[in-house]
Structure 1
Amino acid sequence: KNPPWDGGFTWKRSKDGQPWISVSCQKNGAYIWYPCKEHPSDKADSADITITVPQPLVVASNGLLQSTYQTKDRWQTWHWKTKYPISSYNINFTAGNFIAVEKTGYILNNPLYMVYYVLPESQDGADALLREAEGYLNFYANHFGQYPWMDEKFGLVETPYWGMEHQTINAYGNKYKKTKLGYDFLMFHEMGHEWWGNYLSVADWADFWIHEGFDTYAEALFIEEKYGLSASRNFVEQRYKKNITNQWPVVPSRNSTTENKAGSDIYYKGAHILHTLRYLIGKDILEESLKEFLYMPKEWSKNQTSTEEFMSLIQMNSGKDLNWFFKQYLFKGQLPTLNIKTKNVKDKKFIDYWWEENGFFMPLEISFKSFDGIRERTLELNNSPKRIAIPASSEVSLDPNGWLLFQTKETSNF
């Protein structure tokens, strides 16, 4: 009813009356359409996909096309193969009366076969979409390393649902729509999963924020690089913070299912956790760590990982004990509470700040208008009150650069 969130086959027709068939199954599991071991830890080492459809339909699938052959009157079999490890929900096909719009792209100066399987009624705009995709691929490669499937392809296929990150053949149903800033959010996001989710995968659904949160964080980096820091901060405020619910932990208990109660928080709160990490350890250390995380040896085979491996890497590279940070933001649903106590004495205002949660040590940036202009300070806070004094007529701006997630509890004594 609502693909790709409701999994299964979607049966539509293109404008020429031909069948247009697609399948999506991330949430429900690939077992709904083919036999498999339905657990993220069981990643196939490769896949052959053989689909037979009536002519003139075209089948788009993972990896490279090996052959097509006619099996009987008006029926044709398409054989696709990927030689790379692949998660069960990423094995996919879409069939329709497609035109294959092709391009040789250059990713970090290396050639890549790019193709968009598009319906005739949508062909206008296909060439421009692939040019746009080439730019996005270079952004990801510059930040996170070379595109993982250079000797197969980057593929898009037009689907009757919005989109999904099927490996080397991303589902695309965005109809060339752009954000207010002017980029194709859907294509950018699903493409990012080729790094975060397809190449690097988790072995337990409890860690699924690594797929979605890391990919969503990349969008803020892209906006900062292309449109400036102010635009990126506005994006964090409007996209991340306004969509975070804080009802459930981002990382639930082990052996979880796809029914993660954190919902959209694995996207937006997960991304904001990385945003706050940048504040704590610096942009350079974070970006270097993200790239290392993709390619370092893992406890699991086939480049599968866990939240604990990421936590260990960040603490090793930063030289900081950040268990207090991860405990609060990943393993608890509620936000930390900043206590604020204000006391006015004549022409001065005395304000005490402290974190309510034991062992929480987040530094807090503030700004306020003083007698000699705007002042900015960073308060090293813990569970004990730290006092500042400002003019009675002044107001404090907490976290003016928008790095943190927290709630406040205020008391006054005038």
Structure 2
Amino acid sequence: MIASRLAFACGCLALTGATTLPKKGEPEITAQTARSGGVIDPDQAKLGFDAADLSFEVLPETETLRGVATLSFTAKAPLDRLAIDLDRNLPVDAIAIDGAALAPAAWSNPEGRLVITLPQRVAKGGHVTARITYGGQPHVAVKAPWDSGMVWATTPGGAPWFATTAEGYGCDLFWPCLDFPTGEPGVVTLHITVPKGLKAPSNGKLLGVDTLPDGRTVWNWRIKHPNTYGIALNVGPYEEISGVYKSRYGNSIPMFYWFLPGEEDKARALFAEFAPTLDFFESEVGPYPFGDEKVGVVETPHKGMEHQTINAYGNDYAKAPEGFDWLFQHEFAHEYFGNQLTAANWDDYWLHEGYGTYMQPLYGRWREGEARYATMLSDERNKIANLRPIISGKVRTEEEVYEVDKGGPGQDIYYKGAWMLHTLRTLIGDRAFRDVTRLAVYGRTDPRPGNFAPRYGSSAEYQRFVRRVTGKDYGWFFDVYLREAALPDLIETRSATRLALRWQVPGGRVFPMPVEVQIDGRIVTLPMAGGVGSLPVPKRAHVVIDPKAKLLRRSVAIEQYQAWRDAQARRPRPAN
């Protein structure tokens, strides 16, 4: 394998296409390439993706990518052809099936799905390996990471610095893959050739670095069960900080941070957050899922992304009143909620982003107590839009979830998802919430290093886990918070001697959410059976509903604030 990698790295690959440097948003991609997830193509549904061996060389002077991908599949049904996602801006030069070269007429890729006619049928249970040689100019991100593609930059010292990000449009921007959440390969081996003086930190475990005669280096990595959009190229003149975390589960976990020259003091301050953050997650959720590989973070010329074991960090070492870097913490949360637990359908991506967002205030609570927790949650509450239900019950693409103008819930999968989890935790209790979370993440409540593997999850499964742990059916809870856009509204009626409360929810459903009421400093709980409840109150008593802000519910004050805020943002600014 070393010999073949070095032959590739020496440039023995014909590059197809022009070398004019693309602008941001170019080269233009097809609708097929822009589409990530959704209903799975019938031909792709027949493929079990066993392994990928990926060789990359990215040439910054021409902003081009050369690649050789060796993909191994097991047939779930008889196969006559392979359908593999790959941006047509990366034209294919050669394909071999099980070592035998194909004629160019055996494949086509007009719209971003490479279809390869196999020389012979593969029976169910059979194996097939495709070696695809390709290259071109990858799509350049406009506003990474919210927009996908290559991010070209230079360091303050003028050195090349570039990275990939692919959550939105998917893995097919850079390598031939199955671009849907359940298309994860069992194992990926990476060989990344970089110019002299640059480094290429990437996913998984470092197998070694080969030095070529001209000074270029080949960085070899291996990762198990990577998220489809989690394979990442990060290249720059990096410096490295490393250490070892002694886990509360008995194992030792290597930690690495790759940063730009001249930032060592700031880099060491961020690296000092790694171990406490790990300890929080291991105490509140469970063992770090990839302890036999690494905790990896790399500074990137874009804001950030949860690239498995090599999270992108571009927060410029910002300081915050909560005393920790929210972006580092959020992307690290995705190692659990996104990389270990992967939603099988983009429709359920609140499991990634809702949990990932909830981990910031929960970490604030773990560090400083309830005041910090409440402060951070209050900030998140003001960002909930309630324009669409969080889930649709359909198989959706990434854009159909993340983009409001395409009918998606947009940022509500973050903030409304987080607040729903906050309300659920206060409803069922910390212990039950922890057990539900562990079932979702690990598939078991007693996770230990070595007794679990990455898994796929769904909203329906999560709801079943809540019922399994609590012994109660909380369908009424999820029907409103996940499947309706509007929040439950708590209607208050007070007479001279009595307070009556009634939940009003979409569709007139029964919503038996208990409500705490504070009466002159004394807190009582109304069970709200049937969605209604009442209690006597003295005539001049001071009453506070939900005094500890446990409930995600409609707030007229927040609606008025959001309308004012949005109007202010639209106002023209006076000229200086």
With the length of structure 1 as denominator, give the TM-score of the two structures: 0.91
Q: How does 1:346-365 map to 2 (within 5 A)?
A: 348-356=496-504, 357-365=508-516
Contact 1:107/1:134, CA 8 A, preserved across alignment: no
Segments of 5+ residues of structure 2 without an aligned counterpart are: 1-141, 402-407, 445-452, 557-576
Match of 2:309 among 143, 168, 192: 168
One-letter code aligned to 1:55: K
Does residue 1:254 correspond to 2:394, yes or no? yes
In the TM superposition, 1:73-88 aligns within 5 A as 73-82=214-223, 84-88=224-228
Structure 1 segment 178-257 matched on structure 2, within 5 A:
178-239=319-380, 241-257=381-397
Deviates more, 1:385-394 or 1:62-71: 385-394
Q: Spell out the pairing of 1:301-316 with structure 2 (5 A cutoff).
A: 302-316=454-468
Q: Deviations over 1:23-66 (max 9, x none)?
A: 11111211122221110021111111222221111111101222
Cα displacement (A) at 1:90: 0.3
Which residue of 2 is the match for residue 106 of structure 1?
A: 246
CA distance in 1, matches of 2:190, 2:546: 52
1:179 Cα deviation after fit: 1.7
Distance in 1 (CA, whole Å) between partners of 2:387 and 2:542 is 31
SS of residue matched to 1:317: helix
Q: CA deviation at 1:208?
A: 0.5
Return the letter of the residue paired with 1:17: G
- Name the CA distance, whole Å, in 1 between partners of 2:552 and 2:148: 33
**How big is the shift at 1:302?**
4.7
1:31 corresponds to: 172
> How far is the alpha carbon of 1:395 from its aligned partner?
4.1
Matched residue, 1:379: 526
* The one of 261, 268, 281 aligned to 1:140: 281
Q: Evaluate the alpha carbon distance shift between residue 342 and residue 408 of structure 1 in structure 2; reply closer, same or farther with a 3 A threshold.
A: farther
Specify the code of the residue in structure 1 equivalent to 2:319: K
The answer to whether structure 1 residue 327 and structure 2 residue 479 are counterparts is yes
- How far residue 287 of structure 1 moved from its aligned partner, in angstroms, is 1.0
Distance 1:330 1:162 in 2: 29
- Give, in whole Å, the separation in 2 of the partners of 1:202 and 1:246: 22
Could you tell me how far apart the structure 2 residues matched to 1:157 and 1:141 are? 22
Distance in 2 (alpha carbons) for counterparts of 1:56 and 1:76: 9
Query: Which residue matches 1:342?
Result: 494
In the alignment, the residues of structure 2 paired with residue 197 and residue 314 of structure 1 have an alpha-carbon distance, to the nearest angstrom, of: 20
Q: Is the 8 A contact 2:150 2:164 kept in 1?
A: yes
For 1:388, the aligned partner's letter is L
- For structure 1, the residue ranges without an aligned partner over 5 or more in a row are 410-414
CA drift at 1:408: 6.8
Please list every run of at least 4 consecutive aligned residues from structure 1 whose deviation after the TM superposition is greater than 3 angstroms: 382-389, 391-395
Decide whether the 8 Å contact of 2:512 with 2:527 is kept in 1: yes
Aligned AA (1:278): R
Q: Distance in 1 between matches of 2:529 and 2:416?
A: 23
What is the CA-CA distance between 1:234 and the residue it aligns to? Answer: 2.0
- Distance, in Å, in 1 between the alignment partners of 2:410 and 2:334 is 18
Which residue of 429, 433, 437 maps to 1:286?
A: 433
d(CA) in 1 for partners of 2:457, 2:350:
12
Alpha-carbon distance between aligned partners in 2 of 1:189 and 1:389, rounded to the nearest angstrom: 45
Whole-angstrom distance in 1 between the partners of 2:225 and 2:151: 26
CA distance in 1 between counterparts of 2:389 and 2:154 reads 41
Structure 1 residue 383: deviation in Å?
A: 5.1
Q: What one-letter code is carried by the residue in structure 2 that aligns with 1:332? A: E
SS at match of 2:265: coil
Q: Which moved more, 1:387-396 or 1:201-210?
A: 387-396
Percent of residue pairs bearing the same amino acid type: 34
SS in 1 for 2:226: coil
User: 1:87 & 1:167 partners in 2: Cα distance?
Assistant: 7
Amino acid at match of 2:384: I
Paired residues in the alignment total: 396
Aligned twin of 1:412: none
Contact kept, 8 Å, 2:280 with 2:366, in 1: the verdict is no
SS at match of 1:325: helix
- Structure with larger Rg: 2
Shift of 1:349: 4.5
- Give me the whole-angstrom Cα distance separating, in 1, the residues matched to 2:175 and 2:368: 44
Conserved in 2, the CA contact under 8 Å of 1:358 and 1:383? no
Instruction: Deviation per CA, 1:284-318: give whole Å up to 9, x if none.
Output: 11112212322227xxx951111111110111111
Equivalent residue runs for 1:367-406 within 5 Å: 367-369=518-520, 374-382=521-529, 385-406=532-553
Over 3 Å counting, the alpha-carbon distance change for 1:143 and 1:38 in structure 2 is same
Deviations 1:114-137 (A, max 9, x none): 111111022223233222201111
Amino acid paired to 1:206: D
- 1:268 matched to 2:415? The reply is yes
Which of 366, 374, 381 pairs up with 2:517? 366
Residue deviations 1:71-110 (CA, integer Å, cap 9, x gap): 463433222111x101110011100011122212222253
The letter of the residue matching 1:93 is L
Does the residue aligned with 2:201 lie in a helix, a strand or coil?
A: strand
Return the letter of the residue paired with 2:471: G
8 Å Cα contact 1:103-1:130 kept in structure 2: no
State whether residues 386 and 486 of structure 2, in contact with CA within 8 Å, keep that contact through their aligned partners in structure 1: yes
2:448 aligned with 1:296: no
Return the letter of the residue paired with 2:297: L
